């Protein structure tokens, strides 16, 4: 399977340029194509942040995202984290529904005048 390019390399992920900011970066491949990625970053006091979660649009709804999130949560627990946090925006309703279905709860919303969407901050206990 050769997948179409879903997006150009994101300039909005400066943390990917410095891997020392991440505890891990997991990638998923399907028949040699990179189809998913997600990272884990320590945030202190037993908390980790899940970052850069992406699943190629052509491979969504096949369990890849769920498997990736499970792997990231297991890595966080093994590293001693008791809670994980993440965020996504209201302009990504599928992601919002996905995280809620995985047991993440909304903890706060953030808006700014220059945004045309709201950032939703989520949290999940691993205990």
Q: Where are the domains of the chain?
A: 19-125
Mean of pLDDT over the chain: 88
pTM of the model: 0.86
Q: Tell me if 28 sits within 8 A of 37, measured CB to CB.
A: yes
- Encode pLDDT of 17-60 as tens digits: 566 778 899 999 888 888 999 999 999 999 999 999 999 988 89
How far is the C-alpha of 114 from the C-alpha of 123, rounded, in Å? Answer: 25
How far is the C-alpha of 7 from the C-alpha of 50, rounded, in Å? Answer: 21
In b/e form, how buried is each residue of 52-64, taking b as 16+ CB within 10 angstroms? bbbbbeebeeeeb
- Encode pLDDT of 68-86 as tens digits: 999 999 999 999 999 999 9
- Architecture per CATH, domain 19-125, reads as 3-Layer(aba) Sandwich (3.40)
């Amino acid at each position: 399977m050769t997948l179409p390019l879903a997006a150009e390399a994101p300039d909005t992920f400066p943390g990917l340029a410095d891997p020392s900011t991440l505890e891990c970066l997991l990638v998923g491949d399907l028949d040699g194509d990179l189809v998913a990625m997600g990272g884990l970053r320590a945030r202190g006091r037993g908390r980790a942040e899940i970052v850069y979660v992406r699943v190629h649009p052509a491979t969504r709804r096949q369990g890849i995202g769920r498997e990736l999130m499970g792997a990231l949560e297991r890595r966080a627990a093994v590293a001693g984290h008791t809670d994980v946090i993440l965020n996504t925006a209201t302009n990504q309703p599928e992601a919002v529904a996905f995280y809620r279905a995985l047991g993440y709860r909304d903890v706060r919303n953030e808006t700014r005048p220059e945004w045309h969407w709201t950032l939703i901050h989520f949290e999940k206990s691993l205990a």
